[in-house]
Structure 1
Amino acid sequence: MECPVVVHEGQKLNKMAAIGQKWVPLYQVDAFTDQPFGGNAAAVCLLGDEPQELTDDHLQKIAAEMNQSETAFICKLSPQDDFISSSVFRLRWFTPVSEMLLCGHATLASAGALFYVIKNPSSQLTFQTLSGDLFARREGDFISLDLPENKSQPQDGGKYKDLIKATIGSFPVQEVRFCSSVGGDLLIRIPDSITREQFEKMTPDIQGMMAAHQEEIRGVIVTLKGSLENGCVDDEGVQYDFVSRFFDPWSGLPEDPVTGSAHTVLASYWAKELGKTEFYARQCSQRGGVLRVRLRGDGRVDVKGQAVVVTTGKIRI
């Protein structure tokens, strides 16, 4: 998806000489939280006409420099567009080590930067991505993402027994599933009797996960049905429909704090298990995050959360 550099006859363009001469806006946004330093942080970089000067390798180096779980790059579609009045943009996501097919929290963070810092007045933004068009709508203090549903299939746990063991240790397994469409997520459900406290204390063997990794796996989702009995409730005592954690140490960070894309898999699974289509969910990482999720009947999932801009600045490219 690299944008080409056009060199006219008789001209010579030294790309690397151009790179490093410009500064572009950069923000750090905490997604799926209403408080700074919660949820999942993403770096958001606004690229105007610069994409034609930046190779994929250079974008990857910027993401490695940011060292966030994901860095989002928002690009204008044409020179006539601008970040304030336009409503359609190109969006790409990079971890510190690779480009991603889909990233929910960095999409929410990107919309937050455009809505709250740039003051884009649009009620809905469209992002053209490797996963197709994604939409971000304002809904009061929330941003609702319109993402593709990703269905999982039952999986023989024996194929991934070493990876499962490294991820959940001695916790029993209730069900194992696999979703290929989101880049390869292994879904592990643990029994309802496990408490939230036990779940949050679960400590994967990261080296064991690295050793047991198989090429088709993007990440491992571990999920638990919420109930009053197992303590899966918020600070006001309201029960979560389900809770989860997401591990992907091969992307450069052991655990993703809040994973919007994983909830496109979880929504599809829990809709069948719970007989409902709207969910109140929590991702139980150390930072933690709360999501409102709705499975629609058209193959799409609405993932709703809040976003807080915590850093504004510029990066030299």
Structure 2
Amino acid sequence: MTAHGDEPLRYTVVIPTVGRPSLTGCLRALSAAAGPGPVRVVLVDDRRGAPRTPLPVEIPATLRPVTSVVPGRARGPAAARNTGLRVAGPVPWIVFLDDDVVPGPTWCDDLARDLAAAGPRTGGVTARIEVPLPTDRPPTDWERNTAGLATARWITADMAYRREVLESVGGFDERFPRAYREDADLALRVRAAGWELAAGTRTTTHPVRPAGRWVSVRVQAGNADDVLMNRLHGRDWWRRADAPRGRLPRHLAVTASAAAALTCAALARPVAATACAALWLAGTAEFAWARIAPGPRTRDEIISMALTSAVVPPVATWHWLGAHLRHRRTRPLPRPVPAVVPEAPGRAVRERVLP
């Protein structure tokens, strides 16, 4: 019981992981954070391959009694979080963390205040995400992309949801196979069901993890998830999710120019082929400069931007076209029946967070 006679409110932390070394740092920060800790920590081991070896993580002594490792299905973070939800235990709140974030030094206390302040219609509470950038030089293209997480809404790098809310909307949609748009999809469904999502005060750091030269090419797979979002939520989901539109229209135009240049050349139409090739070159050069100009402009960065700027548009187009084929039969989500949410705080709302 609290000093005010309220019942203690408990929470479980769910962390999907692919065994990155950063998981140990995440758990250390969680263990060291001041305030009431979680009643359970669920690590969902979502690594691919067999036979399965022990998860490479050092669990702090204070968390060992409440930490369990459960196998995932290697189907992405959405499926892994659903696995964690199923074994989270009878707690009113589930807090999702990514395995590469660092909770702040007062994270548990701040979370307690966030959840205590949640009104009866509050279905989830976000955190403040901080992305540290270099202070001695301009950030690289990859660092700027990662910094966008600081302004992303409802990001599950650190997101608390009421368990009843997650169960009522069916959890995460496992058709989203990567860490992209699965959080926006869930948030839109939760809000459509009549719940509110609030901004919390707790702070979590999301470092920029190391990435190779071709990382910007690999992340173009997210264009497929945007197609699925269009199918499920309608073409205005961007506005409702406050999500940036990105450069896909330009990528499609640049790719079309390249395809037209090759086609005209094959048809022995040199003038048209030259004109289309010039459009492709202009579009590629504009894209490359847009990425080079704000960065450190080192030799390696310039080479990376020049190479990937030629590859990104056709790869983005490929994923976009493939998703249209793959999701051609996907129907829009039915309009949900709004949840019956009490107008006045009940017992669960008066609860406080205790270990």
* Greater helix content: 2
Q: Please, what TM-score do these two structures have when normalized by structure 1?
A: 0.22
Pick the structure with more strand per residue: 1
Which of the pair has more CA radius of gyration? 2
